[in-house]
Structure formats: C-alpha cells, structure tokens
Chain A
C-alpha cells in the first residue's frame, strides 16, 4: 500500500474495504495534512475535524457491520457552494460569511448516504465568479505546484486540495469552465457532466442555465465512481433530467479502436501558448497511437461563445443574487438611513468587486431597450453554438483540444484587466452554452514545470465513453500521477 494520502479514491476505498486502514486513521492523517498545508494553500474555508472524525467513526462501524458501499469511509471535500446542514456555507462571500446551512444539497445527501466523510468546505471564487480563485472573501487559493500562482477557478480550492493530496476527491461546479480550468492548472482530472445530470438542488446558483456540478479527482476511474454517485434525477430540480441510471465505469476498459476524435480548427488556430500546444498535440498523438482516428471539425461560431456567455451568465446572476438583500439572512449593513440605503450598503459591503461587476452587467443587458440587443442576441448565439457542436458530432465521437490557453498564471496577473481573466475560459465556455459534458485530464508539463490539461468534449450523456477514453489515456501515460512537491511532502 502506498502512502495513504497519495492513493486514488478507488485505491482508498479498496484499502478501507479490505480493512487495511480505518476511516478514522485515514481521516485523521488527512486532517493532519490539511492543518499543515492549508495555511499556505488556503484551499479550505471551513474544516471541522470533530464532525469529520465522527463521520469516519460511523463509517468504520458500517464497514464492520458489512453494510459498506463503495464510498463508505472515503474522505471527500466539498466546494463551499453546496449547502451542507450544520456546516457554514459561504460561497466564499462576505455576504454569507456566517451562514450555517439549514439543509443539505442533493449532492451532499448522496455523499452522506454513501457514508463518505465530509472533510470540509473548499475555497473558490466568490459566488463561483472567476477563473483564479482570487475573488474569495477568504483570500486567494494558491496553486500547490507554485504557491505564487493561481490554481484556476472558480473551483480552485477543489483542484488545489486534490493536487496537494489533502483529499483524494472533491466536488466542484462548472458554469464556464470552473471544474476543467482549475483541474488543468492543478494537474488533476475533472468532469463537468451534461447539464441536468446532477441535481442543482442546494447548490448556490450563479447562472442557473449553465451551472453543473461534477467531481475533481486524480483518475478517470475515480471520476466514474463519483459520477455514479452524483448523477441521478431529482424532482426538486425542474431542470434535472429523468433517465435510467447508468454505470459510468462501463467503458473504462474499452480501447480506442473505432473512435473518431474531432479537432476543432478554431481551437488550434491561435491564442494557445507554445507549451500548451506541444502538450496537447503530443496527447493527440498518444490517442492516435491507441487507435483513435482524428478529423478536423469546424466550430464556426466558437468565437462568439465567450461574449454570449458574458451576457447570459451575468444576466442570470444579477437575478439569482437579488435574494442577498440583508432582509432574512446573511450580511446586513450596520448603519443605514432607509430601505434603499440598507439594500445598497448591504450589497456594496457584502459582494466583492467581480460579483458587483457581473450584477451590473447583468442588470444592464436585461434592462428595457437593451434586452433584445444583448440578452436575446446572446441566446441566439447560444443556439448556434449548440448547432455547431451538433454538426461537428455528425463527424466525430469526441472533440479534443486544450482546456486552458496557458498554464497557471501568477497571482494578481489579471487583477487590472478582467477581460484577460475571462479569456482564460476561452476553450471551456462553449460546452456550457451547449449543455454538453466536458472534462479535463492532465496531459503534460509545460512552462515553469506546471501541468497542462487536455479537454474532452462529448455529445450529450456521453460521459461513460469520455471516461473510457480518459482511462485509456491514463493507462498509457503517467501525467495524472505527477504530483507537486507539496503533495509528496
């Protein structure tokens, strides 16, 4: 058995089931790592060792009774966007800095029911708005590969915690790349499932029509096990899809023979840094060597995806975040003269600059006289982007390209220019607009010895096949086993 903390989720589960280690021992060891490393990484907002150890003890009893499921006793940490009863749930915002969740998100219910141990709540960009995890009220998350660099965002805490081996897996959410881009920048694997596959119930909304929860872990196999747990219809979410349960592990052993991979010309045209291009092209060669055929595909409207996203997401956010008004819960300004003043002071104090910026953009694009030109036009673009993918999938099974145009950038690099930050999601946004499943897996080491991510975009509900391709790639390569010095310490 390798060091406890460097095991994958599946290996951890196997060791627990074989009683090679107890959940209490494992959780205790990881809590030790968290208390040692989190002060520099800032991946966690909330850790509650007592609760985690109590859950671990309960899991050990369940294992002893022979009632364990595949994830019983396994430690998992959750992005602080998921409501977890009794846990402070902040969305990394001053607005909810003291808010204790009175109910569980569907995702949390599923992990609890499986007997997984909640290791704490993970740092992120405030209200999931950002690509660097710097906008958190609780301070920036740092990349375990280089503490002066960002881990990506918004699920930077999730990616950093897995990369630093503080937990074998974490939950995350993805609205425009928030699972894939941090997974890429931290050298771990992440899956954003098809929109509607995982319930949004109890997941704090940023942009409802784009938000999708998914897992971050080290291997495709781990992602498959976690997707098995997280996916499923929930009547409490009207956008949750009702379809028969499937086993996302079913294609893990399948080879790539007969697979056609689409390479979008637009993705390889320009904008990608040389090291990322080299890593991605080498990965594509590996996939060819494994038996896949590649074809070039066109995604002609792809350049419109980013501007459309920055109309639709802020529009929905401006409305979704109206509930944080200081009336019923959350932050309320201490001094105010009247109701309007209470609202404006509460929201000016409670939200950080990026959240305020997106609320203002959103309110503007929905306002009378601008709605047609911005919001409706963006929705038209959204349909065209989805149509482009549909056309492309007539010629291929899977689309492959870079996840992020660069490796992790230094903290503060984009502080003065939000547009540069937005460009960090240039490759990841389109699948959210179309609602398609997409994932990122480590595929190389680039500049400054930082990891590079390969993005796989599948057709609707093609998660199992995508995970199979990723697993084949990971059998052939060891990029996913590379760990930063912080993790091996």
Chain B
C-alpha cells in the first residue's frame, strides 16, 4: 500500500532573555548547580511569579514574523504534576488562551516552497534537571534551568515527510535566530523538537493514530527518528497490528524509538488559570513598539534579492539562512555600490566564503575576512586588476592573515605581484613565442580544432603565472591563429 506520513512539530525555543520567565534569576548556561535558582525558582513558601516583559516581547516578535494573531489578552495556566525537578509541583504555561495563534512558515521543498500553517505559540517556563549520575543511587536536582522562558511553537500536522519536517525545523531555527529571540544552541537545549507522527493510506483524509517522539535536539535525530517511527508504524499496520497513541523516546545509539508512556497512563494535568497571574494584556502601543524594532524578515530579503538584485531563488535562500550572512552580503553590496555586481558577491559569499567558514567551523561573526575586505577584493576583479582565479589565491591569503579593511586585498596583490597583465604588447610578445614554439598545435587550430586553441590559452596563462588577462589573451590568440 502507498502510505502517507503526517507530521506535526512542537518546538521549544528558549528565549534569549537575561532573566527567567517569572523571576529575576539569570538564565546563563553552565553555572554550578543551583547557583542560579532564587527563592521563586526554589518555590519557597510565599513566593510569587512576575512575568518577564522581555520574554513577552520575544513572543510578540515571533507572532509578527509568522503573520500570526497576537492575542490582546492571553492567560497563564498551571499544569500540575509531581516531579522532583518541578519545584512548585506545577509548570506555568499557557493553555486555552495562548499569546500567539495561527501564522505560517514558508519552507523550502524540492520543487519550490510550501506554506506550513502554525497552530499556536505559547509562553511557558522550563523545569529543572534531575541528575542521576554521581550521587550513589540518589538523584541530584539542579534548578538552574527551572523557570527559563520558553516559547512552544506548534505546527499543524501538515508536514508530509522527514525531509519536510527537517526543512521546517531548519527554517524555524533560522527564523528565531534571525529575529533574535533564541540563540538556537541545540547542544545546550535552547531549541528542541517533539514530533507527532502518524501514517495513513494515501488519499485517506482522516488522521491516523499518532505517536509523539520527545526531545529531539538535532536535525539529524529529528530526521532519523521520524523515518524510523513512520517505518515502525507502517510495518505494524501491514502486519495486522494497530498503532497505540503514546509518547516515545528516540534512542540515537540504537536508532530506534521506544515507548515512554501510553495514553492510558497519561497524567491528568488539571490545567487551570494561574490565580497568581492576571491575564496578560498586549496593547496597541506595545505591539507597535515591538513591530518598529523588528528587522527586515528573511522572506522580504529574498524578494529583494531575487527582484532588484537579480539573484537566483537558490542564492537568495542560501544568503538568508542567517541574518548574519545576509547582513554580511548586504555590507559587501553597500561597499561595492552598483547592484549589478550582486551575482558576483553572492557567488563569492555562498562559494569561497561559506566554504572557509565551514572548513574552520566558525560563524560569520568570527570570519577572518570582514565584509569591507571582501568587497575590496571583489572590486579588483571588477576593475580587471586580477582574474577570478588569482582572486582565489588572494582570498586564501586574506583569510590566513585576517583582513578587515578595503585595501587588504591590494596589499596582497602588490606584495605578491599578482596584478593582472592586460598590456597587449607584453602579452603579444609572450604569445608569439608560444605560437612559434608549437607549430603543430597552431596548425590544428587553424584547421578548426577548438581543443588546440585551449592549449594555447593554458600555455599563455602558465607563462604569465596566471596573471595574464584572459580576455586579452583570447583576443590576441584569435588574431594570431584564426584571423
């Protein structure tokens, strides 16, 4: 049978605030256990939660970025359950009235893009951590993470493959970083996904029974877990079984998912509005204040790049993978001036520059060549001082030495004598000598063999150690051999 996979993702993005969702304690990662847990985080008797305005603002930014409805009034609710790393015995979240509802995320797919509708996004606090090692049979509790602000972003079950789910997660990851609400650090758990996976015969409109796979903290695990889970469900149904609604955990070491708890023993969280917190109001003034501080969104950048600047959809997508890369590109463009050079700049940034970042494993912010320096280099290609090939040599030298200013490339070109030879008389002398030394090949060219022509181009470049202006060399060879 032909099966369709149906996936919805719930993503927890840790909001990049200074302090916690409802207390003044720091959320910085890596402090000694419980060093960042204040009276509120410890749930001492008598303490009260106070919402963090900065966290609410980040939720509003997200809502604006995905074109969602930002509820003027939303309600914090308590999700009650007992666990040692949940100090109050309840988590403050939003349940019936979240701050954000609806919105869409445009994701790249094989043949273009798809719009994935979002259900909602709500504010909540994280729990602490239970440490089961190093305590000789006992469990240690670290409450540094308790109370950390999270935005839980829920998609509709509109994703149809592991590839789409990964594309969605990557796009979302890029977006939350772009609008500066989450650092996106997946190793530290700042961005993690739960996947709801079900399967159904293609053409069926009702949803199959779903399983939720918890805490997928890399795109690779998300991909593998969905593939595995979908295969498991299909195999189960095809062999006469039935999928049971349950929560499963992905084990990357064994590449399998296994059952955590079934719906039957799902807890009753006894949600109710938190009486310590009045409804959260977002008025027009606050909304416009946040909207005014929003950066241009990646979709708008892409439209500008493919429009006025004439870039391909692919280049535009690559350049808008992160706000840093896009900003870098625009700084290079600003320095170069005319928009006609967008293609050249895009090629270099998505090519040499991205490769160098990858090779060194660094972010744009730590790139060895600053945007003005790259612009300086590209300027020398544009004005014919060096060829594209020589430019790569200069690029490598700049990357090695580190380059910040527009004249950095010039200094390399001068010091190494890489200036392109465009002087016709100089090149004519060199080419004449080559033609005379290779009469047989010259005859082949004259007989119309293209390959032989390229042989002379190569020889000329070799003789000029790559500095000969390729266009001039071409013209001279044409005049000598094909006239």
Using CB atoms and an 8 Å cutoff, list the residues of chain A in contact with chain B: 82-83, 89, 91, 96, 99, 101-103, 105, 200-205, 207-209, 235-239, 315-316, 318-319, 321-323, 325, 327-329, 339, 343, 363, 366-368, 371, 375
Contacts and interface: CB of A to CB of B under 8 A. Distances in A.
Given A102-B39, A323-B87, A325-B82, A238 B50 contact: yes
Contacts of A101: 45
Interface stretch (B117-125, B268-276, B312-320, B336-344): B268-276
B278 interface: yes
Of all A-B residue pairs in the complex, the 3 with the closest CB atoms, nearest first, are A322-B89, A209-B275, A208-B275
A323 B45 contact: yes
B31 interface: no
Nearest to A376: B272
A328 B87 contact: yes
Interface in B350-390: none
Contact of B46 (A105, A207, A368): A105
A239 B276 contact: yes
B44 A103 contact: yes
Given A236-B50, A238-B278, A367-B268, 19 more contacts: A83-B46, A89-B45, A101-B45, A103-B39, A105-B46, A202-B46, A204-B45, A204-B46, A237-B48, A237-B50, A238-B49, A239-B278, A319-B78, A319-B89, A323-B87, A327-B141, A329-B44, A339-B84, A366-B270
Contact of B268 (A201, A202, A235, A368): A368
Contacts of A363: 270
A325 B89 contact: yes
Contacts of B51: 238
A99 B80 contact: no
B276 A208 contact: yes
A203 B276 CA distance: 12
Contacts, number: 95
Nearest to B84: A327
Interface string B76-97: 0010101010011110000000
* Size bracket of the B interface: 20 to 34
A412 to B, nearest CB: 29
A176 to B, nearest CB: 14
A242 to B, nearest CB: 12
Contacts of B44: 83, 102-103, 329
B460 interface: no
Task: Name the residue in B39, B84, B271, B275 with the highest tally of chain A Cβ atoms < 10 Å from its Cβ.
Answer: B275
7 contacts: A103-B39, A204-B45, A239-B277, A322-B82, A323-B45, A366-B272, A368-B270
Nearest to B280: A238
B89 A238 contact: no
A201 B46 contact: yes
Contacts of B48: 200-201, 236-238
B46 A205 contact: yes
Nearest to A205: B46
B43 interface: yes
B45 A367 contact: no
Contacts of A205: 45-46, 276
A25 B48 CA distance: 38
B42 interface: yes
B272 A315 contact: yes
Interface of B: 39, 42-51, 78, 80, 82, 84, 87-90, 141, 268, 270-272, 275-278
Contacts of B88: 322-323
A83 B40 CA distance: 13
Contact of A371 (B82, B272, B278): B272
Task: Name the residue in B47, B88, B271 with the highest tally of chain A Cβ atoms < 10 Å from its Cβ.
Answer: B47
A464 B90 CA distance: 39
A194 to B, nearest CB: 15
B48 to A, nearest CB: 5
A315 B44 CA distance: 20
Nearest to A105: B46
B82 A343 contact: yes
Contacts of A325: 82, 84, 89
Nearest to A209: B275
Contacts of A239: 275-278
B52 to A, nearest CB: 11
A477 to B, nearest CB: 38
Task: Name the residue in A105, A203, A368 with the highest tally of chain B Cβ atoms < 10 Å from its Cβ.
Answer: A368
A202 B47 CA distance: 6
A319 B270 contact: yes
A367 B270 contact: yes
Nearest to A330: B45
A99 B45 contact: yes
A164 B350 CA distance: 84
A432 to B, nearest CB: 12
A363 B269 CA distance: 10
Nearest to A83: B46
A217 B434 CA distance: 113
Nearest to A99: B45
A381 to B, nearest CB: 16
A322 B278 CA distance: 21
Contacts of A366: 80, 270-272
B45 A322 contact: no
B50 A322 contact: no
A322 B42 contact: no
A335 B278 CA distance: 41
A171 to B, nearest CB: 13
B133 to A, nearest CB: 17
Given A239-B278, A363-B270, A366-B272, A319 B90 contact: yes
Nearest to A207: B275
B201 to A, nearest CB: 32
A325 B44 CA distance: 12
A239 B48 CA distance: 10
Contacts of A82: 46
Nearest to A127: B45
A190 B265 CA distance: 49
Task: Name the residue in A205, A318, A323 with the highest tally of chain B Cβ atoms < 10 Å from its Cβ.
Answer: A323
Contacts of B46: 82-83, 105, 200-205
B143 to A, nearest CB: 8
Nearest to B37: A328
Contacts of A103: 39, 44
B148 to A, nearest CB: 18
A325 B141 CA distance: 14
Nearest to B267: A368
A4 to B, nearest CB: 33
Task: Name the residue in B44, B50, B78, B141 with the highest tally of chain A Cβ atoms < 10 Å from its Cβ.
Answer: B44
Nearest to B88: A323
A363 B42 CA distance: 23
B35 to A, nearest CB: 15
A315 B90 CA distance: 13
A313 B268 CA distance: 20
Contacts of A235: 50
A315 B84 CA distance: 22
A101 B44 CA distance: 9
A323 B45 CA distance: 8
Nearest to A379: B273
A382 B87 CA distance: 30
B87 A319 contact: no
Nearest to B82: A343
